[in-house]
A and B are shown apart, each in its own frame.
Chain A
C-alpha cells in the first residue's frame, strides 16, 4: 500500500476528530454531549455563552445618593388580568416577606427597603413600560416576572436603562440566552427540566413513543423545545403534538387523536388548571399510559382538580420544599403565618432573589452597575445558598443548580432528585456514560 494512502487516513482521522470535538467543560447549559446540537456531526463555527458578557459601560463612578427615605427594589409580576395571577401573588408575597424581614433587621444602613410593585399584564409591551416606570422610581434592581412573553419584553428595557434584573419565575431557556449583562436568573430553566424529563422518560423508564399535549402559547411552545430536542437526539421524537388554549376545558378532539397513536406516555405542558382537566379527560378516555407534566402543575389547584387521577404523575420542580434546611422551614412557617397559605416555588425563589439583591447592595452600596457586577462576577455569589438550594450561575448568568422531580403519591407531591442523563436502562441494568 502506498504511503500516501496512510497519510490520507491520518489526515482524515484528524479532521474527523477536529470536527467532532467540543470540550466537555465548555459545553453550555450542562448539556450532555449526546444531545448537544449537531455535536455528532459538525463542530460549530462559533460557540456562544462560554464566558459571561461583561458590562463595559459607565456608571460605576456614580456615588451613592444621600438622604434616601427608602431603598427601592422593583417587582414585576402577574397580579391582575392574567391567567397566572395565583403564581404572581405567591411571588409577590415571597418578596414582601424578604423585605419585611430585612427591615426588621435595620434595612439598608438603617434605611428601610421598599418594594415597588408592578403588574406585568396589559397591552402588548406593557412589561417594558413598567420597567421604564421603575427607572423613574429609581429602583436599584428588580425581580420578576413569570410569563416569558412579558419577561423578554421587560429585559430589553432593563438593558437600555441599565437596571439589574433577577428573574425568579420564568423558566424560558432563551431568557438568559439573550446575552444581556443586566439579566440573571435564580430559578432552574426548562432546559434543565427538559433534560431531567427526557432522562427519566427515555432512560430510566425506557419509554419510546411519547405524545405531546402542550399549551398553545409561548410557555408551551418554548417550554417543550429543549425536551423535544433532547428526546429527538436520543432517538425518541414525539409521535404526535397536540395543542390547547388557555382557559380551554374540553380536550376530547386532541386526546382522541393522541389515543389513536397508542403512545407509551403523554407529556402535558401547561398551566395547572388545564393540565388537571387534561389528566382527568385522558383517564376518562380509558388511557392508562404514564403521564408527565411541566413544572406549573406543582400546585394545590392541580391536585384539587385532578384528584385521584393525579396519582402517579411525574413532573419537575425548581426546588424541593421538603428539604430539611432550617432556613427553608422558617420561611415556610413565617409565610404561612403571614399569608395563611403554604408557599410555592415562586414565593420561595422570590424570597431568594430579594435576599440576593439586598446582599449585593450591602456588599457594594447603592449603584446599579456595581450591584450588577457583584451579582454576576461568578465568585461572590456563586453557589449562594438560598432557601431553594444552591444557586449556581453559568456564563449566561442562568441558574444551573439542581432541579427536582416530583411524583404525586396519595394526593401529595413527593420530591426526589433528577438522574444524570447518562444513566440509561439496558436490559434492566444501568450504565453510566460519564455525565
Chain B
C-alpha cells in the first residue's frame, strides 16, 4: 500500500507541474501519413496489446486534452477511438476522424465509406490496414483505397458492425446478424450464428481474440468461445439463469446480456449492462459498482492493454487489473473532475483539471503513455502520470 501512496504522491506532483503541457500527439510527434503501412504499425499494435500495463500496475492518466467539433473533430458524439502509431482514429456519428500532425481530418461516404456512422475501428497488426465498422457495412482502408464489405457483396452476416477486431490475418466482426471471421488471405467469410454456434439468437455485440481463440459477446447468450484450432465452441452464461438477479458472486459471467469481450495474457474480461466479469481460465470474478471501484454497472465497451482493462461505462471511465481501480469522472457543470484510486477499502482522489470531456464513455484505447477516450461529447486524451 505504501507503494501506491508514493505513486499517488508522485502522480500529484506530476500533475501540478504538467498543466500547460502541449496537447497529445502534436505535430512534431507525427510523421505518418494515411497510406503508410510499416513495421511501426505492427510494432505499435504489438506494444499496445502485449506490453502496456504488463507489470500489473494500473496507470493513472491526467493532463487531459479534450477535442470537440470546435477543435476540428467532425462530430461530438464519438463511438470509438483507436491508436494507430502516431495517429488516432475516432469514429463518430457523422464520419471517421483522423488525428494526425496535431490536426483532425475527416472521412465520410464521399471518400468511400459505406456509412458515416462509425462504430468501431481496428488496425491490422500484420499490414497496418485500417478496418472500419460502420452502421451500414465494413470498410478496409488500405493504401488510401476504400473497400466496402456488406451482406450483398460478401459473406458478411449483417451490415451493422458493432465491433471489428483484427487478429493476425483474420478480421473478426460482431454484427446485428451474427459474428463473422474474414480470412484476409483467402477473402472467405466464416459466419457464426445460432445455426452453427451455441447461441439462441445471432445477436452479437463484441468480439476479441487471442491465444488461438475468439470470444464473442452474444447479446443474451453470454460469451461464445471459439477455438480456431479444434473448431470447438464453449459458451459461458450466467449460471443462475435469471435476468433479474445475480444469485452468487463470482459464479460465472455476471449476466447473459454481454456487450464486449477483451482478452490478453490468459485473462478474459467480459462487460455487460449489469457489471464486469473476469475469467482466468479457472475462476470467474464479478465486479459491480457497489463492491469495487467500477464507475457504473452499465458498460458500453472494454479494451485490455497488458493486464489492465479499461471500462467504458455510462457514468465514468474505470481501469483495473482486478485489484486496483482507477476511475475517472468529470464533475457536473465544470471542466474539472477527479481520478479515484481504489484498492480494497482504501480510496484516494486525485483532482484533475481539466477532466475527461464527458462521463458517458463509449470507446477507449491506450498505449504506454497515452489514454484516448471516446465520449458522448468529444474525444479526450490523457497523459501517463505514473
A interface residues, Cβ below 8 angstroms from B: 28-29, 31, 37-38, 42, 44-49, 53-59, 123-125, 127-129, 132, 135, 149, 152-153, 156-157, 160-162, 173-174, 177-180, 218, 221
- Asked if A179 contacts B203 (CB within 8 A), the reply is no
User: Which of the 9-residue segments B152-160, B229-237, B348-356 touches chain A?
Assistant: B152-160
CB distance from B207 to the nearest CB of A (A): 15
- Asked if A123 contacts B158 (CB within 8 A), the reply is yes
Residue among A31, A178, A221 having the largest count of chain B Cβ atoms under 10 Å: A178
Tell me the residues in window 71-108 of chain B with beta carbons closer than 8 Å to chain A beta carbons.
Answer: 76-77, 79, 93
- Asked if B360 contacts A56 (CB within 8 A), the reply is yes
Kindly list chain B residues whose C-beta atoms are within 8 Å of the C-beta of A135. 117, 135
Closest Cβ neighbor of B115 among chain A residues = A132
Kindly list chain A residues whose C-beta atoms are within 8 Å of the C-beta of B160. 125, 128-129, 132, 157
In the assembled complex, the Cα of A173 lies from the Cα of B314 at a distance in Å of 24
Interface string of B167-190 (1 = CB under 8 A from A): 000000001111000000000000
Kindly list chain B residues whose C-beta atoms are within 8 Å of the C-beta of A48. 243-246, 255, 274
CB distance from B16 to the nearest CB of A (A): 30
- Asked if A149 contacts B177 (CB within 8 A), the reply is no
Is B70 in the interface zone, CB < 8 Å from A?
A: no
Tell me the residues in window 238-267 of chain B with beta carbons closer than 8 Å to chain A beta carbons.
Answer: 240, 242-249, 254-255, 257
CB distance from B192 to the nearest CB of A (A): 12
Kindly list chain A residues whose C-beta atoms are within 8 Å of the C-beta of B248. 42, 45
Contact of A58 with B117 at beta-carbon distance under 8 Å, contacts A42-B247, A177-B243 already known? no
Is B376 in the interface zone, CB < 8 Å from A?
A: yes
- Asked if A124 contacts B77 (CB within 8 A), the reply is no
In the assembled complex, the Cα of A125 lies from the Cα of B377 at a distance in Å of 28
- A-B pairs, top 8 by smallest CB distance, nearest first, are A125-B177, A125-B176, A124-B177, A125-B158, A128-B176, A44-B245, A57-B360, A57-B376
Contact of A124 with B246 at beta-carbon distance under 8 Å, contacts A48-B274, A152-B220 already known? no
- Asked if B244 contacts A156 (CB within 8 A), the reply is no
- Asked if A160 contacts B119 (CB within 8 A), the reply is yes
Kindly list chain A residues whose C-beta atoms are within 8 Å of the C-beta of B162. 156, 160
Kindly list chain A residues whose C-beta atoms are within 8 Å of the C-beta of B359. 56
11 contacts between A and B (CB under 8 A): A29-B244, A37-B240, A45-B249, A46-B290, A56-B360, A57-B358, A57-B360, A132-B135, A156-B203, A157-B135, A161-B117
Is B201 in the interface zone, CB < 8 Å from A?
A: yes
Contact of A157 with B314 at beta-carbon distance under 8 Å, contacts A48-B244, A58-B376, A129-B158 already known? no
Is B219 in the interface zone, CB < 8 Å from A?
A: yes
Kindly list chain B residues whose C-beta atoms are within 8 Å of the C-beta of A161. 93, 117, 135
Closest Cβ neighbor of A22 among chain B residues = B245
CB distance from A32 to the nearest CB of B (A): 14
In the assembled complex, the Cα of A135 lies from the Cα of B116 at a distance in Å of 12
- Asked if B245 contacts A38 (CB within 8 A), the reply is yes
Main secondary structure of the interface of B (DSSP, over half): loop
In the assembled complex, the Cα of A59 lies from the Cα of B77 at a distance in Å of 9
In the assembled complex, the Cα of A42 lies from the Cα of B242 at a distance in Å of 14
Kindly list chain B residues whose C-beta atoms are within 8 Å of the C-beta of A38. 240, 242, 245, 247
Kindly list chain B residues whose C-beta atoms are within 8 Å of the C-beta of A218. 200-201
Is B136 in the interface zone, CB < 8 Å from A?
A: yes
CB-contact partner of B203 in A28, A42, A152, A160, under 8 A: A152
In the assembled complex, the Cα of A161 lies from the Cα of B176 at a distance in Å of 14
Kindly list chain A residues whose C-beta atoms are within 8 Å of the C-beta of B219. 152, 156, 178
Kindly list chain A residues whose C-beta atoms are within 8 Å of the C-beta of B205. 156
Contact of A178 with B257 at beta-carbon distance under 8 Å, contacts A57-B360, A153-B176 already known? yes
CB-contact partner of A179 in B93, B245, B273, B358, under 8 A: B273
CB distance from A56 to the nearest CB of B (A): 5
Kindly list chain A residues whose C-beta atoms are within 8 Å of the C-beta of B117. 132, 135, 161
Kindly list chain B residues whose C-beta atoms are within 8 Å of the C-beta of A45. 245-249
- Asked if B246 contacts A129 (CB within 8 A), the reply is no
CB distance from B12 to the nearest CB of A (A): 28
Kindly list chain A residues whose C-beta atoms are within 8 Å of the C-beta of B175. 125
Closest Cβ neighbor of A59 among chain B residues = B376
Is B315 in the interface zone, CB < 8 Å from A?
A: yes
Contact of A124 with B178 at beta-carbon distance under 8 Å, contacts A57-B314, A178-B257 already known? yes
CB-contact partner of A123 in B151, B375, B377, under 8 A: B151
Closest Cβ neighbor of B298 among chain A residues = A53
Kindly list chain B residues whose C-beta atoms are within 8 Å of the C-beta of A157. 135, 160, 176
CB distance from A370 to the nearest CB of B (A): 15
In the assembled complex, the Cα of A304 lies from the Cα of B263 at a distance in Å of 57
In the assembled complex, the Cα of A218 lies from the Cα of B202 at a distance in Å of 12
CB-contact partner of A174 in B159, B243, B254, B315, under 8 A: B243
Is B146 in the interface zone, CB < 8 Å from A?
A: no
CB distance from A340 to the nearest CB of B (A): 37
In the assembled complex, the Cα of A350 lies from the Cα of B298 at a distance in Å of 30
CB distance from A84 to the nearest CB of B (A): 18
Is B386 in the interface zone, CB < 8 Å from A?
A: no
Kindly list chain A residues whose C-beta atoms are within 8 Å of the C-beta of B376. 56-59
Closest Cβ neighbor of A152 among chain B residues = B203
- Asked if B246 contacts A46 (CB within 8 A), the reply is yes
In the assembled complex, the Cα of A124 lies from the Cα of B180 at a distance in Å of 13
Is B149 in the interface zone, CB < 8 Å from A?
A: no
Kindly list chain B residues whose C-beta atoms are within 8 Å of the C-beta of A149. 201
In the assembled complex, the Cα of A427 lies from the Cα of B214 at a distance in Å of 58
Closest Cβ neighbor of A218 among chain B residues = B201
Is B193 in the interface zone, CB < 8 Å from A?
A: yes
In the assembled complex, the Cα of A109 lies from the Cα of B101 at a distance in Å of 48
- Asked if B314 contacts A56 (CB within 8 A), the reply is yes
In the assembled complex, the Cα of A157 lies from the Cα of B203 at a distance in Å of 11
- Asked if A58 contacts B360 (CB within 8 A), the reply is yes
In the assembled complex, the Cα of A173 lies from the Cα of B158 at a distance in Å of 26
Tell me the residues in window 131-147 of chain B with beta carbons closer than 8 Å to chain A beta carbons.
Answer: 135-136
In the assembled complex, the Cα of A156 lies from the Cα of B161 at a distance in Å of 12
Kindly list chain B residues whose C-beta atoms are within 8 Å of the C-beta of A179. 257, 273-274, 298
Contact of A129 with B176 at beta-carbon distance under 8 Å, contacts A53-B298, A56-B315, A56-B359 already known? yes
Is B288 in the interface zone, CB < 8 Å from A?
A: yes
Kindly list chain B residues whose C-beta atoms are within 8 Å of the C-beta of A49. 244
CB distance from B49 to the nearest CB of A (A): 25
CB distance from B248 to the nearest CB of A (A): 6
CB distance from A342 to the nearest CB of B (A): 34
In the assembled complex, the Cα of A26 lies from the Cα of B193 at a distance in Å of 37
Kindly list chain A residues whose C-beta atoms are within 8 Å of the C-beta of B77. 58-59, 162
- Asked if B176 contacts A46 (CB within 8 A), the reply is no
Kindly list chain B residues whose C-beta atoms are within 8 Å of the C-beta of A56. 296, 314-315, 359-360, 376
CB distance from B329 to the nearest CB of A (A): 11
In the assembled complex, the Cα of A54 lies from the Cα of B297 at a distance in Å of 12
Is B275 in the interface zone, CB < 8 Å from A?
A: yes
Kindly list chain B residues whose C-beta atoms are within 8 Å of the C-beta of A221. 200
Kindly list chain A residues whose C-beta atoms are within 8 Å of the C-beta of B314. 53-57
Kindly list chain B residues whose C-beta atoms are within 8 Å of the C-beta of A127. 176
- Asked if A46 contacts B377 (CB within 8 A), the reply is no
